[in-house]
Amino acid sequence: MPDCIFCRIIQKKMPAKVLFEDTHFLAFEDINPKAPTHILIIPKKHIESLDTMVEEDEFAVGRLFMVARNLAREKKVHRSGYRTVINTGTDAGQSVFHIHLHLLGGRPMAWPPG
């Protein structure tokens, strides 16, 4: 997707602080962090949102959580706890339409979210 900023990051046409990369996934620091640890984990396949995922994307979306778990351990927030979030659509505040899992940690968090 030429006008997708996360696709541009995948293609190295846009800079990002990459923390993990393999053939099908990428994780990088959020540019506007909402917690001491705020990482975005994305599939390299352009999936717009959870709402547009199809059955063949099931593994990819599940794998985002395994990458998040590993990064939480690397960042040493796994003992204090962390939050994983996928915003879907306007009401949820999704602003980038390439599915991404937020990994937030390093501070206590309120519930319910605003």
Q: Does 37 bind ligand AMP (CB under 6 A)?
A: no
In angstroms, what is the minimal distance from the CB of 14 to ligand AMP?
Answer: 6
Q: Does 96 bind ligand AMP (CB under 6 A)?
A: yes
Query: Which of the ranges 59-67, 75-83, 86-94, 105-113 carries the binding residues for ligand AMP, by CB under 6 A?
Result: 86-94
Q: Where are the beta strands (DSSP E) in 9-110?
A: 18-21, 25-29, 37-43, 82-85, 101-105
Q: Does 7 bind ligand AMP (CB under 6 A)?
A: no
Q: How far apart are the C-alpha atoms of 11 and 14, rounded to whole Å? A: 8
Q: How far apart are the C-alpha atoms of 98 and 92, rounded to whole Å? A: 14
